[in-house]
């Protein structure tokens, strides 16, 4: 039974016409007609009002599509990421919105799609338009109600950083209450290790290491930015060394071992250092996914890296060498050699 069938069935049970239902919901009768024919789906914001009007739960209303498998989600999101590289952002955004309306109970899809679109618009330099904010932040808010603590925490983290970017620090701080003071993933790993689930325990511990590394680098990045704001060159460089060492210790690959100094080199307008780091980054671009080969993470499953990804990233980096960010490098002999490929 489709959602249109559900709406039609319970509307008729209540003796409501399409016009009466539309009037109570503040929509047009043709909109209700299209829902029932399966031509369109109700907007997410209307799901709860529709369910209340029909006297059913949202779960009953949405029983037509509950979940996608992890494999289906990963395959779909991989396509979304490719689409963001070649298509207009608004077209991709609308397509994803329709997908979520089709699977409104699939929390993992909603959370990860929101993250990808949020990151995609930042990477493309698209302004924080109100329509995008309303929908994407709304998806995050829905995930705060998830029964999965990891999804709740990740959604809260995304909202925290989103409002932090907007300098709405009071709003950002409001999401700190969602973070657990405990570490359920570590507890789960401990239980698995004591109940004979050795493979699950290894994987859980490796995931904790991997996530811990990411959190460490985010903290180092934020601290480095603070020192840069205060003009402390010595500590900014020190933190570049720490980030690079951490990438080596956690076996994240050569690319990650050399990339952290670029921001500081540009900040200092240090031509020799900028050229050196960019050359090392370009030379090691092929190692960007080498962490997937590390024995530290041998029980984890990573998405297969697109063989063209490294080449595409290298091309984008080469194209960026002429950006105004690097105006101070123009005319530098080594830089011009890099630009020439």
Helix (H) or strand (E) holding 182: none
CATH architecture label of 3-61: Orthogonal Bundle (1.10)
Query: What is the tally of helices (H) and strands (E) in the chain?
Result: 19, 0
Between CA 200 and CA 66 the distance in angstroms is 27
Which residues, 6 or more positions from 8, have their beta carbon under 8 angstroms from its beta carbon? 36
List Cα–Cα distances, 154 to 38, 115, 160, in angstroms: 33, 9, 10
Q: Domain limits of the chain?
A: 3-61, 70-181, 185-339
| CB count in 10 Å sphere of residue 272 | 10
> What is the tens place of the pLDDT at every residue in 194-203?
888 899 999 9
157, 172 Cβ separation under 8 angstroms: no
Residuewise pLDDT in 10s, the chain (341 residues): 578 878 988 899 899 999 999 999 989 999 999 888 878 888 877 888 898 899 888 767 775 555 678 888 989 999 999 999 889 999 999 999 988 877 777 888 999 999 999 988 887 777 767 788 889 999 999 898 887 888 888 899 899 888 888 888 888 888 887 776 556 677 778 778 888 889 999 998 999 999 899 989 999 999 999 999 999 999 999 999 999 999 999 999 999 999 999 999 999 999 999 999 999 999 999 998 899 999 999 999 887 767 778 888 888 888 889 888 999 998 889 998 988 86
> What is the tens place of the pLDDT at every residue in 42-90?
887 788 889 889 988 876 777 555 567 888 898 999 999 999 988 999 9
């Amino acid at each position: 039974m489709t959602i249109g069938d559900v709406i039609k069935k319970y509307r008729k049970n209540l003796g409501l016409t399409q016009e009466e239902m539309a009037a109570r919901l503040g929509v047009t009768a043709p909109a209700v007609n299209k829902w029932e024919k399966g031509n369109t789906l109700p907007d997410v914001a209307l799901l709860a009002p529709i369910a209340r009007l029909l006297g059913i739960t949202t779960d009953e209303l949405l029983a037509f599509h509950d979940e996608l498998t992890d494999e289906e989600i990963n395959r779909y999101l991989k396509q979304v990421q490719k689409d963001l590289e070649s298509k207009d952002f608004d077209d991709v955004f609308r397509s994803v919105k329709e997908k979520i309306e089709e699977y409104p109970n699939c929390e993992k899809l909603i959370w990860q799609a929101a993250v990808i679109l949020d990151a995609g618009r930042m990477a493309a330099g698209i302004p924080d338009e109100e329509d995008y904010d309303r929908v994407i932040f709304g998806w995050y808010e829905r995930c705060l109600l998830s029964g999965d603590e990891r999804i709740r925490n990740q959604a809260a983290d995304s909202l925290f950083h989103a409002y932090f970017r907007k300098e709405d620090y009071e709003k950002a701080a409001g999401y700190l209450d969602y973070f657990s003071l405990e570490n359920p993933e570590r507890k789960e790993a401990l239980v698995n290790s004591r109940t004979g689930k050795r493979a699950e325990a290894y994987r859980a511990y490796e995931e904790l290491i991997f996530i811990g590394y990411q959190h460490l680098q985010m903290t180092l990045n934020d601290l480095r930015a603070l020192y840069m704001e205060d003009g402390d060159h010595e500590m900014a460089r020190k933190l570049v060394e720490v980030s690079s060492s951490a990438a080596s210790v956690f076996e994240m690959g050569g690319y990650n071992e050399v990339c952290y100094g670029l921001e500081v080199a540009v900040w200092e307008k240090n031509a020799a250092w900028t050229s050196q780091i960019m050359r090392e980054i370009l030379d090691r671009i092929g190692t960007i996914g080498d962490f997937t080969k590390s024995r530290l993470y041998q029980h984890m499953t990573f998405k297969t890296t697109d063989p063209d990804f490294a080449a595409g990233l290298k091309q984008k980096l080469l194209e960026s060498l002429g950006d105004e960010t690097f105006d101070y490098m123009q005319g530098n002999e080594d830089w011009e050699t890099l630009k020439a490929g």
